[in-house]
Amino acid sequence: MDKEKKIIDEIRFELLNNVNGLTDKQLNKRVEDGRWTIMQVLDHLYLMERSLTKAIQTTLEKGEVQEVESKPVHFTVNRSTKVDAPPFVIPTEEKLTLQEMKDKLEASRKDLLSFLETTSKEDLQKKAYPHPIFGKIRLDEWVPFIGYHEKRHIEQIIELKSKL
């Protein structure tokens, strides 16, 4: 899982680099009606990582063994296909500080990495969890998906920053 961990680490570094230096006021500012604030994008990413880590763990524990072909999860970065966030990853309206959000993101990443330490790629390849567009994705491919999903939202953050 070293390759997968490298992907999510590099993208998380890029994500944080894009928000470091912004004030809490800027991060919580709504620049366009009907769009999330930068902080809400970060909260969405936190909620997504948290829920996917739980889904991967539960599926590994209770899911059935199945043969699922590899999916091109790197296409997640393509923003031409709009995907509505499922209700459980809709961000809070609450104003947060960058430090609070960094702590949350650090905690969700720590949980994911701790889990990955206790399992093998081979075990993760034997089970799958459904995605609204890709269909069933093998559990080992959900890890880089988390990174590519963050990369997709880095583009959104860059757009929002340009409107501050």
Is the separation of the CB atoms in 37 and 7 below 8 Å? Answer: no
pTM, full prediction: 0.97
Which of these CATH numbers, 3.10.270.10, 1.10.510.10, 1.20.120.450, 1.10.287.80, describes 2-159?
1.20.120.450
**Ramachandran bin of 34, using left for φ above 0, alpha for ψ from -120 to 50, beta for the remaining angles:** left
pLDDT at 81: 84
pLDDT at 83: 85
Residues contacting 129, CB < 8 A, separation 6+: 55, 56, 59, 63, 136, 137, 139, 142
Domain locations along the chain: 2-159
pLDDT at 64: 97
Mean pLDDT, 10 residues at a time, the chain of 164 residues: 96 98 98 96 98 98 96 93 90 96 98 97 97 95 98 97 97
- CA–chain centroid gap for 144, Å, is 9
Write the DSSP string, 124-151: HHT-EEEETTTEEEEHHHHHHHHHHHHH
Pairing relationship of beta strands 128-131 and 135-138 according to DSSP bridges: antiparallel
pLDDT at 157: 98
